Copies of this chain bind each other. A is one copy, B any other.
Amino acid sequence: MSAGATDRPIFRRIALIGLGLIAGSVAMAARASGSAGHIAGYAKSAETRAAVRDLGFCDSVHDSAAEAVAGADLVILAVPVGAMGEIAAAIGPHLGPGAIVTDVGSVKQEVIAAVAPHLPAQVHFIPGHPLAGTEHSGPRAGFASLFQNRWWLLTPLEGAEPAPTARLSAFVRSLGAQVEEMDAAHHDLVLSVTSHVPHLIAYTMVGVADHLKRVTESEVIKYSAAGFRDFTRIAASDPVMWRDVFLTNKEAVLDVLGRFTEELFVLQRAIRMGDAAQLQEYFTRTRAIRRGIIEAGQDTAAPDFGRSAALPEGAVKPSAKSDEG
A residues whose Cβ falls under 8 Å from a Cβ of B: 106, 129-136, 141, 143, 145-148, 150-151, 153, 180, 186, 189-191, 193-195, 197-212, 214-215, 217-237, 239-240, 242-243, 246-247, 250, 253-254, 256-261, 263-265, 267-268, 271-272, 274, 276, 279-280, 282-287, 289-294, 296, 298-299, 301, 303-305, 313, 320-325
Whether A280 contacts B134 in the complex (CB less than 8 A), given A233-B227, A234-B225, A274-B250, comes out as no
- The answer to whether A194 touches B228 (Cβ under 8 A) is yes
Question: With A147-B322, A221-B299 given, can you name 15 additional A-B contacts, CB distance below 8 Å?
Answer: A145-B322, A189-B214, A195-B225, A198-B231, A200-B264, A201-B201, A211-B259, A211-B263, A218-B296, A222-B313, A228-B231, A237-B287, A247-B279, A254-B271, A258-B268
- The answer to whether B214 touches A286 (Cβ under 8 A) is no
Residues of B with C-beta under 8 A to A261 = 261, 264-265, 268
- The answer to whether B320 touches A286 (Cβ under 8 A) is no
Chain A to chain B contacts (Cβ below 8 Å), 25 pairs: A131-B225, A133-B322, A135-B301, A141-B320, A145-B322, A189-B212, A189-B215, A190-B220, A190-B223, A194-B220, A207-B286, A212-B259, A218-B293, A221-B298, A225-B234, A227-B231, A228-B234, A231-B231, A235-B286, A242-B283, A246-B271, A250-B271, A250-B272, A257-B264, A261-B265
> Closest approach, in angstroms, between the C-beta of A256 and any C-beta of chain B?
6
**Cβ-defined partner of A131 (8 Å) among B106, B287, B301, B325:** B325
> Closest approach, in angstroms, between the C-beta of A146 and any C-beta of chain B?
5
- The answer to whether A200 touches B267 (Cβ under 8 A) is yes
Whether A193 contacts B209 in the complex (CB less than 8 A), given A230-B226, A232-B290, A305-B229, comes out as yes
Residues of B with C-beta under 8 A to A279 = 239, 242-243, 246-247
Report the separation of the CA atoms of residues A224 and B210 in the bound assembly, to the nearest whole angstrom.
26
Report the separation of the CA atoms of residues A212 and B92 in the bound assembly, to the nearest whole angstrom.
38
> Closest approach, in angstroms, between the C-beta of A110 and any C-beta of chain B?
12
Whether A193 contacts B207 in the complex (CB less than 8 A), given A223-B131, A239-B284, comes out as no
Residues of B with C-beta under 8 A to A207 = 263, 282, 285-286, 289
> Closest approach, in angstroms, between the C-beta of A209 and any C-beta of chain B?
5
Of all chain B residues, which has the CB nearest A106? B325
> Closest approach, in angstroms, between the C-beta of A248 and any C-beta of chain B?
10
> Closest approach, in angstroms, between the C-beta of A124 and any C-beta of chain B?
23
Of all chain B residues, which has the CB nearest A275? B247
Residues of B with C-beta under 8 A to A294 = 236
